[in-house]
Amino acid sequence: MVLAAGTLLGACGSNGNNDSEDVAPAKDGQADKFTAAMVTDVGGVDDKSFNQSAWEGLEAFGQDNGLEKGTDGYDYLQSKSDADYKTNLNTAVRNKFDLIYGIGYKLQPAIEEVAKQRKDSNFVIVDSVIEGMDNVASVTFKEHEGSFLVGVAAGLTTKTNKVGFIGGTDSDLINKFAAGFKAGVEAVNPDAEVDIQFAGAFDKADKGQSMAASMYQAGNDVIYHAAGGTGNGVFTEAKNRKQQNPDQELWVIGVDRDQAAEGSVTVDGEEMNITLTSMVKRVDTAVIDIAERAMKGEFPGGEIVEYGLEDDGVGIAPTQDNLSEEVLAAVEEWKEKIVNGEVEVPTKPE
């Protein structure tokens, strides 16, 4: 009893930083099984875009490696506001996940803070760069290159010579989408005007819809969105207008994943689709790649891992029903020029 009491008192006295609540229980004998989790941004895991693509990648990794959804395998923690980022990251640490993803550049400050405190945990920031930390890998994409290609498609498709871009926020990242898109449009259609606007949020579908309504009303017949859940409103507006006037030619260009399904609409009993194409950003592939490396003990901590056209990290969506042979040929031609270094795509709209 004396020994037990001494041990108990010693344990209580050794935790001067009050971190006892952060100690997670053992994983039921599965301590040797690799586990991974992701923390979403405010768009949520079912945003039909960026977060959803990341989750699909993590799901595929888990299933391919015989893992189950939950703390003993793979899971996600959903953030309803920016205030949830740090809390969710710490929850993932307490649950002893071997690898923790922060999906979206907005999680950078939270990951920087938590990773400094939790040096034994490995983190991945997607869409931003954190330097000088060996337990953080940074995943970025050449969004401007993929956006250039959908810009080529828009420039060759527009009948009004007016196309629009709706970004989630006016940030360096989203401006890469805008810059590539504008450059692609102008490369094949110098007469076209590109209207670039920002919603200020990634989770406001109503804002996206009202912005799209104004753009279509102003004569833009193609709108490219890089706005996460806000972009869902762009699809809603386009489909509503198509139902009201089936003869009106208007299009939406999706982002991050193949958003052809979001453009499906029934007009007078006929199935139509207003998704011209999508700029696929293979977040799912990146999530799988980093997880596989980490599982093999090759976690790229402190490194920047970038995915572009040359390794199919970005590109045109596989669904190409609404693109003509002429457009597809032009897209392929410009893709080769970019990959070969003949064309350098700008990262800023100027």
How many whole angstroms separate alpha carbon 201 and alpha carbon 210?
13
Nearest to 53 by CA among 286, 300, 318: 286
Q: Look at phi and psi of residue 36 and say left if phi exceeds 0, alpha if psi is from -120 to 50, else beta.
A: beta
* Alpha carbon distance 263, 333 (integer Å): 27
Write the CATH number for 301. 3.40.50.2300
Do 185 and 287 belong to one domain?
no
What tokens does 123 get? 């983190």
Cα–Cα distance for residue pair 152/276, rounded to 1 Å:
12
Same domain, 264 and 186: yes
Is residue 345 within 8 A of residue 180, CB to CB? The reply is yes
Question: Does residue 2 lie within any of the structural domains?
Answer: no
Task: Report residue 142 as tokens.
Answer: 């050449």
Question: Within 10 A of 315 (CB to CB), how many other CB atoms are there?
Answer: 19
Choose among 230, 235, 308, 309: nearest CA to 273.
Answer: 235
CA 89 centroid distance within chain: 18
**Contact 163/195 with Cβ under 8 angstroms?**
yes
121 and 193 together in one domain: no
User: Is 23 part of any domain?
Assistant: no
Q: Are both 227 and 106 inside the same structural domain?
A: no
Dihedral of alpha carbons 101, 112, 141, 261, sign: positive
Cβ-contact 142, 314 below 8 angstroms: yes
CA distance 318 to 334: 17
Same domain, 150 and 266: yes
* Overall domain count for the chain: 2
pTM over 0.85: no
- Rounded Cα gap, residues 123 and 115, in angstroms: 7
The answer for residues whose C-beta is within 8 angstroms of residue 321's C-beta and 6 or more apart is 260, 273
Could you give the C-alpha distances from 41 to 156, 188, 345, in angstroms and in order? 34, 35, 28
Q: HSE of 298 in the Cβ direction (CA atoms, 13 Å)? A: 6
Is 39 inside any structural domain? Answer: yes
Per-residue pLDDT of the chain (350 residues; tens, 9 = 90+): 344 444 433 444 333 333 434 434 334 434 468 999 999 999 889 888 889 999 999 999 999 999 999 999 999 999 999 999 999 999 999 999 999 999 999 999 999 999 999 999 999 999 999 999 999 999 999 999 999 999 999 999 999 999 999 999 999 999 999 999 999 999 999 999 999 999 999 999 999 999 999 999 999 999 999 999 999 999 999 999 999 999 999 999 999 999 999 999 999 999 999 999 999 999 999 999 999 999 999 999 999 999 999 988 999 999 999 999 999 999 999 999 999 999 999 999 87
Residues 232 and 119 in one domain: no
